[in-house]
Amino acid sequence: MGRRPAKCYRYCKNKPYIKSRFCRGVPDSKIRIFDVGRKRANVDEFPLAVHLVCDEKENLSSEALEAARIVVNKYITTQCGKDNFHLRIRVHPFHVLRINKMLSCAGADRLQTGMRGAFGKPFGKVARVSIGQIVLSVRAKDTFESHVVEAIRRATFKFPGRMKIFVSKKWGFTDLFREEYLRLKAEGRLKDQGVHAKRLREHGPLFKDVV
């Protein structure tokens, strides 16, 4: 028996049902890699950030997330090179789907009991997303903006429902607008955190050399 189509599990109907000691035998998620490309690149190298935002409350299957990751990675690697971007999948499939398997062979009515004991067995995993939630983000150099947007546009075809593409006004994966980032960097008020940067606050413990 093959997989049920995603339309059977598209909507968030029930409470979150996660893998636990009560819910065992859950198949592994299809997506195992959430960061692709040059993920260790410093925050200064990739100022551009483009986001794919979900516009519906729905479930996104791990298979769909993996398909989107592959298509974005392949297109940007071909057009820009494998060291000129960093893709991050921002949602994780924790919700477990269930299936009540029904026999469809001859004589099935003698073997199965209809709706008796109808609580299903674990079948797959999905990520529950809400309206306005970011599904994936790509940071790159400004010169590759058109290629990044096209790659994410191709990824939208892997998901059900409405998806929107936003070119961020902020610097990379930081929470600072570009002008503010450059100003704080010039003033020496940024702490480099690798992939992102943190603003140094003006309150807190005094330094030892301050009397």
Residue percentage of the chain with pLDDT more than 90: 77
Asked if 100 contacts 112 with a C-beta cutoff of 8 angstroms, the reply is no
Write out pLDDT tens, residues 120-152. Answer: 999 999 999 999 999 999 999 999 999 999 999
Determine whether 2 is exposed, middle or buried from the number of CB atoms within 10 Å of its CB (0-12, 13-18, 19+): exposed
Q: How confident is the model at residue 104 (pLDDT cuts 50, 70, 90)?
A: confident
Q: Is the pTM value of this prediction over 0.95? A: no
Which position has the token pair 């929470």?
175
**Helices assigned H by DSSP within 104-177:** 108-111, 145-156
Neighbours of 149 (CB within 10 A): 16
- Three-state DSSP class for residue 1: coil
Helix axes 145-156, 62-80, angle to 10 degrees: 150
